[in-house]
Structure 1
Amino acid sequence: MKLFTIGDSISHGFMSGAAAKTELCYSTLIAQQLGIKNYQYPTWPKEGMPVNIEEVFRRLEKAYGSGISTLEWVHALAKTIPAYLNEVEKYYERGKGAADQPYEGGQEYFDNVAVRGFNVSDSWLMTPKYCKKQIEANRTRNGIYSSVDNSFLRTALRVLNPQLLPEHDKKSQLDWLKYHSDKEGVENVIIWLGANNALGTIVDLKVHFTKGKGEITNAPSDTFADENKKVYNLWHPKDFEADYRELLNRIDRILEGKDTKVFLGTVPLVTIAPLAKGVGETFTVKVENQQTGEKEDVIYSKYYTYFPFDEDFAFKTGINLGFNQVTHIDKCIREYNKIIKRLVADRNVTHPGRYTIIDYSQMLDSMAFKRNGGAPTYEFPEYFDFQYPLPNTKYYHADTDGNLKQGGIFSLDGVHPSAIAHGLIAYETLKVMQNAGVPDANPNALNWDEIIQSDTLYTQPISVIHEIYDNTKLAEWLMTILKKMRKEQ
């Protein structure tokens, strides 16, 4: 096997609130460049689950045009949106996509086993057997705005055991790596985990810190889903280090005596994601550059709240993260990345050349629009020299005439990369793989015409997107849906 991928929602191709557009994912683009003809990944009918926000807005746009009247909103909220939700729910709960139905494509396994919501320890703790048990035990009643219940678990089950075969029921992501490594050998592995050890802070706009005892996480992350129990959503660096060391220990055991190249991604600063918008007074903070070690100016805001809302909303409702909380989250993530680099340096003494780091965190840092004072330093591929509009990290917006005004890096959930951003991730990954001596890893061979055409948010801007800001009920519903990106609450 030439390429195997382990990861979370980014490597899964999760976009606009739904799993997933894996066909547009960076790892799929890399597989194409490496000449892999049968790189296997799951596809997701009905535009994925739990809810594809782009599909919601496409249907609204088709039904009502670029502006929706008050009377039309009554119909949209009572009929148009629920009709789509019911289609998705029916397929994934009772139809061919249900948990008790084998994957229609017939594949016994996938070369990309990334799953939305996975943190570091889920790579060995989460199994199909666990998913089946929890789905059966936690079924919910339907409502008018209901989406697929247990969609996280259903997604994990579909990825880890698509044909529901008993012999694969205990296989985690790492077990699948061992299976392929022992059976046919694996040349290259991309492992990008860690974002979900902090992402919950931005989704919940709350911080629940782990205990910091340096203990390995001993339960699947689905058990942490109920925010009312104040379960943790931000790993203390000591706890993150324990989990990541365990991850590397398990990889080393699996690859003992093998020549497999392992590419490990650093953890992006989740606070850059435009789901949480900086509002109010800004502050300039000196922060160490993750690559050069030099101090740089980084701009932070007084509050961070969900993107449709303003400072007054953040202050009056308390639905926000403050400056001190956000800088603390970033401090933890920067420490995660120092830990990854230190652990990898130690491993490469024992296993020379096995591990290579891909600094995705630095990539996103350099792309960040607001915290770089509106002047991102990221060097786009030459193709983008005269590309207009140039994508940025602000939340997506288009005018009523269908002209893209801002955004392009993130999909409509404000957290996950767009198709164009996946192309950029593939570009940066291929550069590192090329330097590591991987045959055919040519970043300059990416077909940017095809990648851009695949990004419908960019090529077909949504003229009705302004309704997020104009309709409070829609904005509140959208935030409820977006909270399901991580786990069911």
Structure 2
Amino acid sequence: MRDSVRRASSRTPERESPRAPVTDPTLGVEVSPNRAGAPRHRLVAVGDSLTQGFQSAAVFNTALSYPAIIAHELGCLPGFRYPLYGGFGGMPFNLEFFLRDLEDRYGRTVDWWEVPLALFRARNVMDRVEDYWERGPGSKVPSTTAIMHNLAVFGWDLRDALSKSADECRKRLDVPKDDLVNQIVQNAGERAALRVLPTQPAAAGALTQLGAAAELGKDTDGSGSPHGIETLIVFLGANNALRAVTELRVVWSEDSGFDDLDGKRRFTVWRPKHFIAELRKVAAQVAGIKARHVIWCTVPHVTIAPMARGVAGKTEPGSRYFPYYTRPWIKDRDFDKGRDPNITAEQARQVDDAIDAYNDAITETVLTARIKGKDWYLLETSGLMDRLASRRYAEDPLARPDWWQPYPLPSALQALSPPPNSHFLVSKNGRRADGGLFSLDGVHPTTVGYGILAQEVINVMRLAGVQFFRPDASTPRTDPVLVDFDRLIRHDTLVNRPPANVGSALNVLGWADEALDLFRRVFATL
């Protein structure tokens, strides 16, 4: 197994076919972890927006992030600590909150004579959200000495995990100004992080998210275990390539600046050698955290996210790629490569190849640790997303690699009409007509989408021997441990009651982007 992974990680980024996902989380290496005692902290997660529970361009629904879903199934949710972002639908700007406000005011359609008023209304909503988080109640950060169990922060990449602390985030806060044009919360990422990272006592303000996890790992007093953490999830790296699709620009990292908090903003995709250099530093710190089990997640192919929609037909029969990728509300017949933002098929392939190299490196990292006796596991979130990819594989049999199999949706999701898929969410007559796995930003999952990710993590945790309990926290659960998708469907407003205005959510988001340059402003905060 080790030789095959080494061969894979030494390939050039250019590949004839996509990387085959690893199917054995143990990579074929048996480990006997120290199971003495009961670690105090059953679950800790380090990551970015996907782990924080980001949806529809905002962090707000953190009680339904995938780590919180897992904590619910573990029976430890009451003691699982995560940040809260109440008020105006979270930050930086909740698209679902925005659409429902327009729907309440103008109904399902905005007539042509109402457009100026709707535009004024949209700016008013944006202004109120900005005021709340920059100058209002949302600007006051809760003070606590307890360290969060969900330590994820949206927009963070490997360098942020290594370098950013509460003290660093405070230094980066600009004096807020009431911008009449760019009405998006300033320094939204830093403001969000200050609710995640420890700030008290004063010395805690220097802790990064990895440092905070290490402090939880040291919390072993009286537990009878050498580990303060039972399961640590590490899900980082998507933001080392995500801006290629959110900004529709491919700017490769250079030898100077990729590992600098300020310099790295110039780049939208890290070259594999730069990613690997950062990964080694992250892995070295994770190795020092006292966690019984560590689950590393691979990086999903960001070009599958429906925020970058392929247009003009596949480049050739059996190809994975469309000639161009642009915004999902731009129809094929309207697309103009000289006018509309886009990346090309070749650029999309290069980004995917880079991510495949990232994942080879993550696989090698886990394999090396297991050979050294650490109980680390690989979760193929990249392969999971590939198996859910509607336009790339599910709807194009000729494009499917030999290893591809459709992902079997849980029965509760299969029973929905229509079953959720990876298309951009569309509603008609107040009901979901398409999509359902991605929220309204076209990048982050819906609640049921996060539930699928939670189920995959749970499967690995059970493989590691982690015991799950009923809500009483004392009655053991028997296999299979399954996520309660009926509960998630009830809480998933995008699946069970999507916005219905302007005919479909897709149309109104396109209108908002054209009128307000909304998506560029929102994604610039990530």
Q: Structure 1-normalised TM-score?
A: 0.88
* Amino acid across the alignment from 1:234: V
**387, 395, 399: which one pairs with 2:416?**
387
1:39-81 deviation line (CA, Å, top 9, x unaligned): 0111111211110000010111111111111222211211x22
Equivalent in the alignment of 1:21: 61
Instruction: Give 1:479 shift.
Output: 5.2
The reply to whether residue 418 of structure 1 matches residue 424 of structure 2 is: no
Q: Report if the CA contact (8 A) 1:468-1:474 is conserved.
A: no
Q: Give, in whole Å, the separation in 1 of the partners of 2:287 and 2:509.
A: 52
Q: Give, in whole Å, the separation in 2 of the partners of 1:439 and 1:314.
A: 55
Tell me how large the CA RMSD over aligned residues is.
2.3
Q: Give, in whole Å, the separation in 1 of the partners of 2:347 and 2:80.
A: 41
The reply to whether residue 351 of structure 1 matches residue 386 of structure 2 is: no
The reply to whether residue 61 of structure 1 matches residue 103 of structure 2 is: yes
The reply to whether residue 409 of structure 1 matches residue 437 of structure 2 is: yes
Equivalent in the alignment of 1:263: 295
Output aligned runs, 1:128-167, within 5 Å: 128-136=166-174, 139-143=176-180, 146-161=183-198, 165-167=201-203
The reply to whether residue 328 of structure 1 matches residue 350 of structure 2 is: yes
**465, 471, 481: which one pairs with 1:437?**
465
Q: Give, in whole Å, the separation in 2 of the partners of 1:107 and 1:479.
A: 40
* Amino acid across the alignment from 2:155: G
Q: Report if the CA contact (8 A) 1:8-1:114 is conserved.
A: yes
* Amino acid across the alignment from 1:390: P
Equivalent in the alignment of 2:204: 168
Instruction: Give 1:140 shift.
Output: 4.3
Equivalent in the alignment of 1:461: 498
Equivalent in the alignment of 1:274: 306
The reply to whether residue 118 of structure 1 matches residue 156 of structure 2 is: yes
Q: Give, in whole Å, the separation in 2 of the partners of 1:170 and 1:378.
A: 42
Instruction: Give 1:485 shift.
Output: 3.1
Choose between structure 1 and 2 for higher RCO, CA contacts under 8 A separated by at least 6 residues.
2
The reply to whether residue 253 of structure 1 matches residue 288 of structure 2 is: yes
* Amino acid across the alignment from 2:325: Y
Q: Report if the CA contact (8 A) 2:182-2:521 is conserved.
A: no
Q: Give, in whole Å, the separation in 1 of the partners of 2:499 and 2:387.
A: 27
* Amino acid across the alignment from 1:131: C
Q: Give, in whole Å, the separation in 1 of the partners of 2:466 and 2:508.
A: 50
Q: Give, in whole Å, the separation in 1 of the partners of 2:104 and 2:192.
A: 29
* Amino acid across the alignment from 1:199: L
Q: Report the more deviating stretch, 378-387 or 44-53.
A: 378-387
Residues 471 and 413 (structure 1 numbering): CA distance in 2 closer, same or farther, change over 3 Å? closer
Equivalent in the alignment of 1:209: 252
Q: Report if the CA contact (8 A) 1:267-1:336 is conserved.
A: yes
1:285-310 deviation line (CA, Å, top 9, x unaligned): 8xxxxxxxxxxx55310100011113
> How many residues are treated as equivalent by the alignment?
458
Return 5+ residue gaps in structure 2 as ranges.
1-40, 221-227, 397-404, 470-478
Instruction: Give 1:351 shift.
Output: 2.6
**486, 503, 507: which one pairs with 1:449?**
486
Residues 159 and 480 (structure 1 numbering): CA distance in 2 closer, same or farther, change over 3 Å? same
Residues 469 and 383 (structure 1 numbering): CA distance in 2 closer, same or farther, change over 3 Å? closer
Q: Give, in whole Å, the separation in 1 of the partners of 2:209 and 2:480.
A: 27
* Amino acid across the alignment from 1:458: V
Residues 266 and 403 (structure 1 numbering): CA distance in 2 closer, same or farther, change over 3 Å? same
**361, 372, 390: which one pairs with 1:369?**
390
Q: Report if the CA contact (8 A) 1:117-1:196 is conserved.
A: yes
Equivalent in the alignment of 2:45: 5
Q: Report if the CA contact (8 A) 1:216-1:243 is conserved.
A: no
Return 5+ residue gaps in structure 1 as ranges.
226-230, 286-296
Equivalent in the alignment of 1:301: 322
* Amino acid across the alignment from 1:103: P
The reply to whether residue 102 of structure 1 matches residue 141 of structure 2 is: yes
Q: Give, in whole Å, the separation in 1 of the partners of 2:263 and 2:146.
A: 27
Provide the secondary structure at the position in 2 that maps to 1:263: strand
Provide the secondary structure at the position in 2 that maps to 1:379: coil
**71, 76, 81: which one pairs with 2:118?**
76
Instruction: Give 1:468 shift.
Output: 4.5
**216, 241, 260: which one pairs with 1:180?**
216
Q: Report the more deviating stretch, 38-47 or 432-441.
A: 432-441
Instruction: Give 1:199 shift.
Output: 0.1
Q: Report if the CA contact (8 A) 1:308-1:475 is conserved.
A: no
Provide the secondary structure at the position in 1 that maps to 2:322: strand
Q: Give, in whole Å, the separation in 1 of the partners of 2:353 and 2:294.
A: 26
Provide the secondary structure at the position in 2 that maps to 1:316: coil
* Amino acid across the alignment from 2:360: K
* Amino acid across the alignment from 1:58: R
Instruction: Give 1:386 shift.
Output: 2.7
Provide the secondary structure at the position in 1 that maps to 2:325: strand
Equivalent in the alignment of 2:27: none
Q: Report if the CA contact (8 A) 1:28-1:39 is conserved.
A: yes
Q: Report if the CA contact (8 A) 1:209-1:236 is conserved.
A: yes
Identity %: 30
